[in-house]
Amino acid sequence: MVRDGIQLMLSLVGGVDVVALAADGEEAVAAVVAHDPDVVLMDLRMPNCDGATATRRIRAEHPRTQVVVLTTFADDADVLDALRAGARGYLTKDAGV
Amino acid sequence: MSETPHRAGPEWSWALNAGRAVTLVVLAAATVALAAPEHRLLAVGALAISLCGSAFGLRHGPDQWIQRLVGLALFAAGGVTLLAVDGRAPGWLACGVAIIAGLARLPARAGLLFAGTVIVVTCLAPLARDDAEDVPMMAAICGAALVVALVVSGSRNRAVTAEQLLEAEQSARESAAERDRLAERQRIAREIHDILAHTLSAQTVQLEGARLLLDRGAAPADVRERIVVAQRMARDGLEQTRRAVQSLRGDARPLVEVLRVLAADADAKFVESGTPWPLAPPAALTVERTVQEGLTNARKYAPGATVTVTVTYAQDALRVEVRDTGSAVPPEAPPSGGYGLTGMRERAALLGADLQTGPDETGPAGKGYRICLTLPRSGPSASSSPTTSAWSATASS
**ipTM of this complex:** 0.78
DSSP secondary structure, B288-307, as one string: HHHHHHHHHHHHHHSTT--E
Nearest to A40 among B201, B379, B394 (CB): B394
Whether the CB-CB separation of B308 and B353 falls below 8 Å is answered with: no
The CA–CA distances, whole Å, from B357 to A59, B259, B270, B337, B339 equal: 36, 19, 19, 10, 14
Q: So what's the pLDDT on residue B348? A: 82
| Residue of A32, A53, A72 for testing the chain B interface, max B β-carbons within 10 Å | A72
Q: So what's the pLDDT on residue B11? A: 55
Name which of B394, B208, B204 is nearest A13 in CA terms.
B208
Per the structure, the count of domains in chain A is: 1
To the nearest whole angstrom, how far is the Cα of B188 from the nearest Cα of chain A? 17
Query: How does pLDDT run across A60-72, given as a tens digit for each residue?
Result: 999 999 999 988 7
To the nearest whole angstrom, how far is the Cα of B200 from the nearest Cα of chain A? 9
| Residue of A33, A39, A45, A81 for testing the chain B interface, max B β-carbons within 10 Å | A45
> What are the backbone angles phi and psi of residue B393, rounded to the nearest 5°?
-120, 135
Looking at beta carbons, which residues of chain A come within 8 Å of B213?
Answer: 8, 12
CB pairs under 8 A between A and B: 145
Please give the Cα distance from B243 to B188 (Å, whole number). Answer: 13
Please give the Cα distance from B108 to B103 (Å, whole number). Answer: 7
Q: So what's the pLDDT on residue B16? A: 66
The most confident of A4-8, A46-50, B262-266, by mean pLDDT:
B262-266
Q: So what's the pLDDT on residue B90? A: 78
Q: Is A35 on the interface with B (CB under 8 A)?
A: yes
Q: So what's the pLDDT on residue B333? A: 54
Specify if A85 maps to a domain.
Answer: yes
- B349 and A23 within 8 Å at the Cβ level: the answer is yes
Q: So what's the pLDDT on residue A97? A: 57
Q: Report the run of H or E that residue B279 belongs to, with start and end.
A: none
The CA–CA distances, whole Å, from B154 to B103, B114, B149, B151, B322 equal: 12, 19, 8, 5, 74
> What are the backbone angles phi and psi of residue B332, rounded to the nearest 5°?
-70, -40
- Whole domain around residue A71: which residue ranges? 2-92
Whether the CB-CB separation of A1 and B393 falls below 8 Å is answered with: no
Average pLDDT of adjacent 10-residue blocks, chain B of 397 residues: 45 67 77 76 79 78 82 86 79 86 84 90 86 86 89 82 91 90 79 79 89 91 92 86 77 86 91 88 82 86 89 93 79 52 74 85 73 78 38 46
Specify if A70 maps to a domain.
Answer: yes
Name which of B324, B329, B231, B312 is nearest B276 in CA terms.
B312
The CATH number that applies at residue A76 is 3.40.50.2300
CA-based nearest residue in chain A for residue B218: A12
Looking at beta carbons, which residues of chain B come within 8 Å of A93?
Answer: 201-202, 204-205
The three-class DSSP label of residue B333 is coil
Q: So what's the pLDDT on residue B39? A: 75
Name which of B96, B98, B78, B101 is nearest B141 in CA terms.
B96
Specify if A97 maps to a domain.
Answer: no
Q: So what's the pLDDT on residue B70? A: 87
Q: So what's the pLDDT on residue B210? A: 92
Specify if A77 maps to a domain.
Answer: yes
- A5 and B226 within 8 Å at the Cβ level: the answer is yes
Specify if A63 maps to a domain.
Answer: yes
With 70 as the cut, is the pLDDT of residue A78 above it?
A: yes
Within 8 A by CB and 6+ apart from B338, the residues are B297
- A97 and B384 within 8 Å at the Cβ level: the answer is no
Q: Report the run of H or E that residue B311 belongs to, with start and end.
A: strand B307-313
Looking at beta carbons, which residues of chain B come within 8 Å of A15?
Answer: 397
Within 8 A by CB and 6+ apart from B118, the residues are B76, B80, B95, B98, B99, B102, B142
Could you tell me where the DSSP H helices lie in B59-195? 65-85, 91-105, 108-124, 134-192
- A19 and B346 within 8 Å at the Cβ level: the answer is no
Specify if A29 maps to a domain.
Answer: yes
